[in-house]
Structure 1
Amino acid sequence: MISRNQRINAFIQLGNFLTDPKHVLEIEDWITSANRRNNWFTPENSALSLAAIGTEFLNPQKLTAWADRYHEPDQIKKVGVIMAGNIPAVGFHDALSVLISGHILLAKPSSDDLVLIQMLLEKLAELEPAFTENIQFVDRLNDADAYIATGSNNTARYFHYYFSKKPNIIRKNRTSIGILTGAESADELAALGEDIFQYFGLGCRNVSKLFVPAGYDFTKFYESITRFTNTCLHHHKYFNNYEYNKSILLINRTFHYDNGFLMLTESPAFVSPISVVHFEYYDSIGDLKLTVQGSAENIQCIVGSQDLDIPEVIPFGQAQKPGLSDYADSIETMEFLARL
């Protein structure tokens, strides 16, 4: 059995590898391969994700403090992890959780995010050979003692059916929202643009819905996000989505705002198509609180001004900067693993 200190030290070494400039060429090879496999994974976005893993998740002090909060499991189990593939290396946190807790990882990466997950875990085993037996890439999860699965609402029903007889965490579709009051500065609105456009809006932590006061004027918002123009217009997949969704809004004669790369349309739905952000008016913060509370199972995170009297709100620009304890669907993965 690999000791907790060995496990922590191995991940710290991986973090050092990711942040050490002398390894930049090897990491660039990973990034190029990931982009060839999935055009959504631009070199900039993959580099951003790997840098966040190296500096935030694998920060020695943060990693040690996080791991030390949880007791060692009584028995080592095989944990099957079905990973999402919507943004680069999105399944890494689950892999980290399983391995740092001492269990055996049966990893089933998404075909959209195969390269970065495989490279990260292979590098980890290279740095700490004792991990070799604890990291297994599999096509089927029949041998797993427990499951962590991330997918759509439809696949979640499938997961519940097949995995119900063993301990499991099943995650469904979630998205994130932004709350505007009209008093935001241009810098805050530009930071909101990061929450919307980072990873092209494909992540559950990306803002796809805005709540705005009645009569809100979107002019300042649009003026504040112009720096994302080239990113959106020059990425063919994003721009194809923009043109397609624009045609749907026009054909259906749906009222919308449009700045040439992002459309805003009023809708009660939380999830919006790529290149579209939904908005909804509110009359008071009190009413908005009730709306948010009633839809909590659909919301991953909330961005807004820190003056809002809503405890879950995080600052603009922080949606795609989760910490180790920012668990998907607010389910403490490490606590689940400790109880197995």
Structure 2
Amino acid sequence: MAPDRNTIAAFVKLGKYLTDFCDKCYSNDPEVDQNLKEIIAQAGHHNGWFTEDNILFSLKQWGDLLTEQNITAWLSNYSFNKQINPKTVGIVMAGNIPLVGFHDFLCVLLSGNKVLVKLSSNDKVLLPYLCKYLMEQEPSLAEKIEFVEGKLENFDAVIATGSNNTSRYFEYYFGNKPNIIRKNRNSVAVLTGNESEEELKALGEDIFRYYGLGCRNVSKIYVPKNYNFDSLFHALFHYKDIIHQHKYANNYDYNKAVYLMSQFKILDNGFLVLKEDDSLTSPISALFYSFYDDESSLREKLQEMEGQIQCVVSSKAKENEVNFGDTQKPSLNDYADGIDTMEFLLKL
């Protein structure tokens, strides 16, 4: 059986609504939907990292993805069996970037199952508003979508996203049901020293979009021995205004002070601190780097660390890699942690 056409049609209408809304916002059209403008403002009040610019970016990405052509092409990769008894799938959502759990939500409904959503306290208003729109387009979805405030109960399977610490808690509570439990991941970039200024500027998008809070954000770069950082700093200067966001600026001041007091050798351009460090996880406003001797050995090393890495970014991206500037533009078949969510749901 094919996925429900009415559900697909509702998501396609949502995609058009988001695209039209973003186009009107970017062109300062006075006819823009004030209800969604108000929701965006509320989201920003709840969470200071959720600026209007970043929320609009997220909405624009979903608007671009939710077309009939994209959804049909994506779903054509799967076999849909007739489900007499849809399962209830609990989703414990993260709140690090706007609508970060929307892909899981989309997968559950398009797989023919019911969704039980536990929102993050950091992202409580965007998804309920979009759900209201979806249910206006397709009233039958009201019986398939439920939000829960407290403990997640009465579910058949669960998808939970959190940190390495919360994943242990999730495994304890949800281990006896079919589950996908996601942990910390980071993204890295491989530089050769031959990148153009445009490519390095695009890398800045991968570093700074959402203030670096997403698992698809580049938090670590690998550079060849004797790499000259001048061209990188020159290209990244395009993003200098990020320092005017007070939460980001506070992190920058704090991390820079800690590194200087610890007498770490750092490179600094007034809004980003570069530090040589083996770790993949750099704090907000910092970017870690490591040197490599030869690219093939580095790629073998990255392969060994694939359980910790969400994206590898490089020029002329090879298979399973991402081009500069594209980390926050995943397609519908780009699954977090490389686990095929749709396949998991269709086997329940």
TM-score tier after normalising by the smaller chain length: over 0.9
Q: Distance in 1 between matches of 2:59 and 2:308?
A: 27
Give the deviation of 1:143 after TM superposition.
0.4
**Structure 2 counterpart of 1:179:** 190
**Structure 2 counterpart of 1:321:** 329
* Structure 2 portions without partners, runs of 5+: 25-30
Give the deviation of 1:190 after TM superposition.
0.2
**Structure 2 counterpart of 1:36:** 45
**Structure 2 counterpart of 1:70:** 78
Give the deviation of 1:67 after TM superposition.
2.2
Q: How does 1:292-331 map to 2 (within 5 A)?
A: 292-306=302-316, 310-331=318-339
**Aligned with residue 264 of structure 2, among 233, 251, 254:** 254
**Aligned with residue 271 of structure 1, among 251, 256, 281:** 281
Question: What one-letter code is carried by the residue in structure 2 that aligns with 1:229?
Answer: K
Q: Distance in 2 between matches of 1:129 and 1:263?
A: 50
**Structure 2 counterpart of 1:197:** 208
Q: Distance in 2 between matches of 1:281 and 1:166?
A: 43
Q: How does 1:1-340 map to 2 (within 5 A)?
A: 4-20=4-20, 21=24, 23-56=32-65, 58-73=66-81, 74=83, 75-138=85-148, 139-230=150-241, 232-306=242-316, 310-340=318-348
Give the deviation of 1:127 after TM superposition.
1.6
Q: Distance in 2 between matches of 1:262 and 1:189?
A: 15
**SS of equivalent to 1:120:** helix
Question: What one-letter code is carried by the residue in structure 2 that aligns with 1:7?
Answer: T
1:149-200 CA distances to partner (integer Å, 9 max, x unpaired)?
0000000011111111110000000010000000001100000000000010
Are the counterparts in 2 of residues 84 and 110 from structure 1 also a CA contact under 8 Å? yes
Give the deviation of 1:3 after TM superposition.
6.2
Q: Distance in 1 between matches of 2:129 and 2:8?
A: 19
Q: Distance in 2 between matches of 1:16 and 1:313?
A: 29
Give the deviation of 1:33 after TM superposition.
1.1
State the superposition RMSD in angstroms: 1.4
Are the counterparts in 2 of residues 67 and 101 from structure 1 also a CA contact under 8 Å? no
- TM-score, normalised with respect to structure 1: 0.96
1:293-321 CA distances to partner (integer Å, 9 max, x unpaired)?
11100100011111x6x422211000110
* Structure 1 portions without partners, runs of 5+: none
Between 1:120-129 and 1:200-209, the stretch displaced more is: 120-129
Q: Distance in 2 between matches of 1:279 and 1:141?
A: 40
**SS of equivalent to 1:237:** helix
Question: What one-letter code is carried by the residue in structure 1 that aligns with 2:224?
Answer: P
Q: Distance in 2 between matches of 1:316 and 1:27?
A: 31
Between 1:11-20 and 1:65-74, the stretch displaced more is: 65-74
Are the counterparts in 2 of residues 17 and 23 from structure 1 also a CA contact under 8 Å? no
Are the counterparts in 1 of residues 206 and 325 from structure 2 also a CA contact under 8 Å? yes
What is the aligned length? 335
- TM-score, normalised with respect to structure 2: 0.94
Are the counterparts in 2 of residues 196 and 207 from structure 1 also a CA contact under 8 Å? yes
Q: Distance in 1 between matches of 2:261 and 2:119?
A: 38
1:64-95 CA distances to partner (integer Å, 9 max, x unpaired)?
22123223354410000000100011111111
Identical positions, percent: 48
Give the deviation of 1:39 after TM superposition.
0.9
Q: Distance in 2 between matches of 1:217 and 1:202?
A: 27
Q: Distance in 2 between matches of 1:222 and 1:48?
A: 24
Question: What one-letter code is carried by the residue in structure 2 that aligns with 1:326?
Answer: D
**SS of equivalent to 2:86:** coil
